[in-house]
């Protein structure tokens, strides 16, 4: 785990979008039997220890993923520092990562713009307070993005492993 490639998803409260992205990527990695990539999430305005929303838990079941044990985690400088790749749901999340740690610019991306760097572009809408249908649409959108970038993530993780002495 210490040498794993680390990916963190960031949203606001860490109870909807970033946990759904975390669960989705974990499921994709599990299907490929990849166990040297650590995936986690945090929120720019998250309190510690809150569960994923009921609809987020339900939405990820489309992929047979499980969020029932998720608890929210606030975004911190330490998390940013320890992470190899940071994927943000909106430009404001990206900007907050860089406000906390400006030198994280080379590893911080908007999920929908990856692999292009920077915080400008379209974000993933927040389904909080919405219907299960809204959560399902959000998870499908996240899943499409994860599918689009998976090969690049695997390549970057492999390169990190190859650089180890």
Domain boundaries, the chain: 5-159
Q: How far is CA 13 from CA 2, 33, 35, 76, in A?
A: 26, 30, 27, 13
pLDDT at position 159: 87
pLDDT at position 3: 78
> Which residues contact residue 49 at a Cβ distance below 8 angstroms, ignoring those fewer than 6 apart?
71, 72
Tokens at 48, concatenated: 């510690």
pLDDT at position 153: 95
What class has domain 5-159?
alpha beta
Determine if residue 141 is left, alpha or beta; phi over 0 gives left, psi from -120 to 50 gives alpha, anything else beta: alpha
Give the count of beta carbons closer than 10 Å to the beta carbon of residue 122.
11
Can 11 be counted among the known catalytic residues?
yes
pLDDT at position 76: 98
Catalytic hit among 17, 88, 94, 119: 17
Catalytic hit among 4, 66, 84, 125: 125
pLDDT, averaged in runs of 10, over the chain (165 residues):
87 98 97 95 97 98 96 98 97 98 96 94 96 98 98 92 62
Catalytic hit among 11, 88, 94, 119: 11
């Amino acid at each position: 785990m210490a040498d794993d490639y680390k990916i963190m998803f960031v949203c606001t409260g860490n109870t909807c979008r970033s946990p759904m992205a975390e669960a989705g990527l974990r499921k994709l990695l599990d299907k490929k039997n990849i166990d040297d990539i650590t995936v986690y999430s945090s929120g720019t305005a998250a309190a510690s220890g809150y569960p994923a929303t009921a609809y987020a838990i339900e939405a990820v079941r489309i992929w047979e993923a499980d969020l029932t044990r998720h608890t929210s985690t606030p975004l911190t400088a330490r998390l940013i520092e320890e992470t190899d790749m940071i994927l943000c749901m909106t430009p404001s999340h990206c900007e907050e990562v860089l406000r906390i740690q400006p030198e994280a610019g080379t590893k911080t991306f908007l999920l929908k713009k990856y692999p292009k760097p920077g915080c400008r572009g379209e974000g993933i809408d927040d389904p909080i307070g919405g219907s299960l249908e809204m959560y399902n649409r959000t998870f499908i959108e996240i899943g499409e993005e994860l599918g689009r970038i998976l090969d690049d993530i695997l390549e970057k993780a492999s390169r990190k492993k190859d650089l180890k002495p």
